[in-house]
A and B are shown apart, each in its own frame.
Chain A
């Protein structure tokens, strides 16, 4: 019978090798504090935070060190007890150097979070919950890093009916959401209840890929019967965890091009985000650490770790041990993650995984790019039904304007499916990124 009841899914997409077995059964362990933490003031989409501390000031773990500058911004909290050594430029994963707070950690300190206050979220009004979420500095922990409280407040005239909880984790190697669903189940359910009240949604659906059926079973057993929360398995397929794909899979709704998820009455939150909400809000704490999967063929002891925000990658990789010099270190998953050019880049709120790959086989590295043979594989892979083949040809001709105007380039969310399946090895996604970047600059 199982054969006929396939898990829900969306059209197109790809099936990359998962590599999740490396860390799927590794419980979350605590990462020690690095000697110095680097906390960028802009770890989220929106305006950077404004520092509240001065150089030389001592801070206690959990203390606010930067405040939100406007509604689409979030504060930062001290990830450790220590002293502010400097406020200056630090390398970022994106490339340009950004303002950051350098925090020298006191290793003899007890590292207790003293900045907290018990409160009962059940008695808080929806607006109070939204304000509290902003105060906690919460952003989408799946990798988007969009401030969570902004998503809880839909634009005027829109009503959120369904809350989707994203536990897909479709990127290869990553298992942090899987472990959160297994180990922080109660915090997750508490977070979902708060998000339901804050958004006014009537029901919540947890979408989990069917390679994590243990998590689905565990969640179903733990969700109290009277709550409008269900856990559903969706097919293991990339990019199932993209907001619009998950909405399509679970609800059959399509978000209009250029629209928001609230246009179809849905808000999507990552399980990690909601687990943190459930954890932090009752104690009025701020986000100071997150679960990160450290994995990949170049890592000696891969695992899932609770990492203080601001831990430099160099320290993180030292702790897990490396098999020789890694060829490439990627923040996030290998499909959509960002390769970093410096190991001094810190773990930020958006980093769900650190994947260290071995140096590429030189023959592979120079895989020859052949002309497009119009096989149409990329059209079958594109989850939002664009025409990557045509877009690629236009990119070669530098017709970036036509790409945007006639072929909906702006809808592309750079999932990488087209480049993954291309038998001619055409780096399509990279072409699209060039085109989008140039179009942005030309304005």
Chain B
């Protein structure tokens, strides 16, 4: 009996000592963490996409609570959720306008010629390293869909002609597609930038058209038609000055012979000018 009592007493005493140590440690080593951080983190999308510039949603939540950034900086979150965060923290939502990824190429398999067949790992990055990937236009989209795979939000899908299409509502401007594209065709733009040059070919005239039916031939009509300084031709390519986006209009696209300069509509459809060549071909061009 005495043995049992000793054992129980010893264990109780040990428990008391350790418990008091824990109590002391809890009091003395306590780190105060703003409980709002957890709550704000719960309101964030938890995609850890990095579009805001931090490593993930947790550090962003900390910065939000500390008032270092505005909730609108999170582009993956919906507008209403950001408003909820802003109301919760009592700050302005900020962040400005939505940005989206835009592809500077329209050369799908039905309009851009393939000069050599690539057989290897089906990845744009791999193909681009093998003599550029075999497309006649060495600037153009290769169509293996690295961007589709890398997009965490399902905002990019490949159309039947092998050209990635960005769903603007889903795009969070995280920039993953910008990094992954070996031809540097993606760039992030304000959603209000509706006038768009979907080409990066630096060749002139027939040389550019020789490889792709929708290439910018640097004819300069868009530059002539649009108000002063909005569009300029540089290195055989039309460049839009988005600082003057206010004066951009559909006038610029009307006389484009190839339809390389486009007007992107809110609903995702693309408007080409009246003089643009109509391409009705759906299937791929032969290899030649």
Contacts and interface: CB of A to CB of B under 8 A. Distances in A.
B121 A431 contact: yes
A396 B262 CA distance: 38
A95 B202 contact: no
Interface string B102-142: 00000000000001101111010110111111110011000
A391 to B, nearest CB: 15
B203 A341 contact: no
A434 interface: yes
A97 B202 contact: yes
Contacts of A438: 125, 179-180
A98 to B, nearest CB: 10
A91 interface: yes
A39 B21 CA distance: 80
A433 B130 CA distance: 10
Contact of B128 (A91, A95, A360): A95
Nearest to B180: A438
A340 B131 contact: yes
A364 to B, nearest CB: 10
Contacts of B128: 95, 437
Contact of A441 (B123, B134, B135, B179): B179
Contact of A95 (B119, B123, B132, B207): B132
Q: Which of B128, B135, B207 has the most chain A CB atoms inside 10 A of its CB?
A: B128
B203 A97 contact: yes
A430 interface: yes
Contacts of A97: 138-139, 202-203
A157 to B, nearest CB: 36
A123 interface: no
B203 A430 contact: no
Interface string A71-97: 000000000000000000101011111
A342 B116 contact: yes
B145 interface: no
B121 A430 contact: yes
B182 interface: yes
Contact of A434 (B123, B131, B179): B123
B133 A95 contact: yes
Contact of B115 (A341, A360, A365): A341
B179 A341 contact: no
A372 interface: no
A342 B125 CA distance: 19
B126 A430 contact: yes
Contacts of B139: 96-97
A442 interface: yes
A338 interface: yes
Interface string A262-303: 000000000000000000000000000000000000000000
A437 B138 contact: no
A339 interface: yes
Interface of A: 89, 91, 93-97, 338-342, 345, 360, 365, 427, 430-431, 433-434, 437-438, 441-442
17 contacts: A89-B202, A91-B138, A95-B132, A96-B138, A97-B138, A340-B116, A341-B115, A341-B118, A341-B132, A360-B119, A427-B120, A430-B126, A434-B121, A437-B182, A438-B179, A438-B180, A441-B179
